[in-house]
Amino acid sequence: MSAGEDDIVIVGAGIVGICAATYLAEAGRKVTVIDRTGICEETSSGNAAAFAFSDVLPMAQKGMAWQAPKWLLDPLGPLSIPPAYLPKLAPWLWRFLRAGSPARREAALAAQVSLMRLAEAEWMGLMERSATRPMLREDGSLELYESEAEFQASLPGWNERERFGIAFRHLAKHELSEYQPGLSEQFLRGTFVPGWKTISDPKLLGKAIWRHAQGQGAAFVAGEVGLIMPANGRLTVQLRQGRTIGAHKVIIAAGAWSHLLARQIGDRIPLETERGYNTTLPADAFDLKRQLIFSGHGFVITPLETGLRVGGAVELGGLRRPPNYARSRAMLDKAKRFLPGLKTEGGRQWMGYRPSLPDSLPVIGRAGRTGDVFYAFGHGHLGLTQAAATGRLIRDLVLGQAPAIDLAPFSPQRF
């Protein structure tokens, strides 16, 4: 059955898919978003809520080499790889390590900076247009260090950010309580980043943006896309539930599952998932002044309107393995040590699938063999931050306009 002659179909109603839908609907295009669950119900629902515009360092650099061996030794530590998954992961890991070479790292850094500048401008504009600006917190972030060695190891990264005009201020021990009262004595240094922003709740923001998109005419269809096929100069999107939807253009924004659809249309994209965990505590669990970042332990604590979210970590364990919520508990136990007054009762545990490419850059561009299919996925740790910029860039591509930034570093064909 052909259920319609939709102009543009977007697969995936995570924050990236709905931002793309919003920009295209605002441009007057007929947009249908298809998702098997709902609007921002998966990875985009439970993340750490940061607009991390200053987080420009590629993961292959970001202290990884220094920390990874120690982290891997702790089964519930910030980084884990289930041994049985290692053979499947090996090609991605190899590319990840190569992405850490000086030349590739520098290129990825410059590309990330250009995307982040666009990201900030686009989010501020989109928040105005969708009346979501009250959901923004502009109180910066506080990164904390337990030793002078850890602080010193962070300095090259801060110097790199300084090159791109990112503001920060290093703090001595006696200044920390001004930025966050109630911290454990074990923290000796800190860095305050004033331009770091958070939002009141990522799921609520996603749903509010979607209401704006709906107001511009975007529609939602519940279903799981099984197949995307070219047919008679158009595209046919088949749902596993039996329905077929026709489209002139299709955008794949299916998060950590996107490569499965891209492979059907001839593109092999090395997408992996970095699974992350957290616990959301009741809002009165602690009087948190801003987002706290414990880089040495791979997690953050975020004050949300809906609670206090404690989590992070990376588990390179694929899409099928059941969640191991001992990871959420391990971070909560540490958070209690770092903030002795934290009330840890009444939390809700969660796991999400970061969609990650080995060079820490997303894929934003056209499919190799079918010019009417576009990709918008692989934002890893930064999908919330970069969603509005991605929506803008996808709109530029679909409308045949010059993209707002050079898209070569984000090309699906770069692998």
Ligand X SMILES: Cc1cc2nc3c(=O)[nH]c(=O)nc-3n(C[C@H](O)[C@H](O)[C@H](O)COP(=O)(O)OP(=O)(O)OC[C@H]3O[C@@H](n4cnc5c(N)ncnc54)[C@H](O)[C@@H]3O)c2cc1C
Residue 303 sits in the site that holds ligand X (CB under 6 A): no
Question: Shortest Cβ distance from residue 373 to ligand X (Å)?
Answer: 14
Candidates 20, 281, 331, 384: give the one binding ligand X (CB under 6 A). Answer: 384
Tokens coding 369 = 């063999």
Candidates 8, 10, 16, 342: give the one binding ligand X (CB under 6 A). Answer: 16
Question: Shortest Cβ distance from residue 203 to ligand X (Å)?
Answer: 10
Determine the 3-state secondary structure of 352 from DSSP. strand
Residue 78 sits in the site that holds ligand X (CB under 6 A): no
Closer CB to ligand X, 188 or 207, in the complex: 207
Question: Shortest Cβ distance from residue 56 to ligand X (Å)?
Answer: 12
Closer CB to ligand X, 188 or 318, in the complex: 318
Residue 298 sits in the site that holds ligand X (CB under 6 A): no
How many Å apart are CA 67 and CA 146, to the nearest integer?
14
Residue 280 sits in the site that holds ligand X (CB under 6 A): no
Largest distance between two CA atoms of the chain: 69
Strand stretches in 325-397, DSSP E? 348-356, 363-366, 373-377
Residue 15 sits in the site that holds ligand X (CB under 6 A): yes
**Restricting to residues 211-230, which ones interact with ligand X according to CB under 6 A?**
224-225
**Restricting to residues 258-277, which ones interact with ligand X according to CB under 6 A?**
276
Determine the 3-state secondary structure of 46 from DSSP. coil
Question: Shortest Cβ distance from residue 103 to ligand X (Å)?
Answer: 26
Candidates 32, 61, 295, 385: give the one binding ligand X (CB under 6 A). Answer: 385
How many Å apart are CA 135 and CA 104, to the nearest integer?
36
Candidates 48, 116, 176, 265: give the one binding ligand X (CB under 6 A). Answer: 48
Residue 317 sits in the site that holds ligand X (CB under 6 A): no
Residue 14 sits in the site that holds ligand X (CB under 6 A): yes
How many Å apart are CA 250 and CA 237, to the nearest integer?
8
Residue 410 sits in the site that holds ligand X (CB under 6 A): no
Phi, psi of 188 (to 5 degrees): -105, -25
Strand pairing category for 31-35 and 225-231: unpaired
Closer CB to ligand X, 17 or 412, in the complex: 17
Segment interacting with ligand X (CB under 6 A) among 15-23, 78-86, 149-157, 241-249: 15-23
Tokens coding 394 = 């996808």
Residue 254 sits in the site that holds ligand X (CB under 6 A): yes
Question: Shortest Cβ distance from residue 224 to ligand X (Å)?
Answer: 4
Residue 35 sits in the site that holds ligand X (CB under 6 A): yes
Q: How many residues would you count in the chain? A: 415
Tokens coding 50 = 């940061």
Question: Shortest Cβ distance from residue 172 to ligand X (Å)?
Answer: 27
Question: Shortest Cβ distance from residue 395 to ligand X (Å)?
Answer: 16
DSSP 137-164: E---EEEEESSHHHHHHHHHHHHHHHHT
How many Å apart are CA 76 and CA 72, to the nearest integer?
9
Helix count and strand count (H, E) for the chain: 10, 20
Sorted by sequence, the CB contacts under 8 Å of residue 268 that are 6+ apart come out as 259, 262, 415
How many Å apart are CA 184 and CA 325, to the nearest integer?
25
Tokens coding 107 = 């290129």
The distance in angstroms from the start CA to the end CA of the chain is 37
Closer CB to ligand X, 188 or 329, in the complex: 329
Question: Among 322, 264, 363, which residue's Cα sits nearest to residue 85?
Answer: 322
Residue 52 sits in the site that holds ligand X (CB under 6 A): yes
Closer CB to ligand X, 178 or 305, in the complex: 305
Strand partners of residue 123: none
- The residues binding ligand X (CB under 6 A) are 11-17, 34-37, 41-44, 47-50, 52, 224-225, 253-257, 276, 278, 311-312, 352, 354-355, 377, 379-385
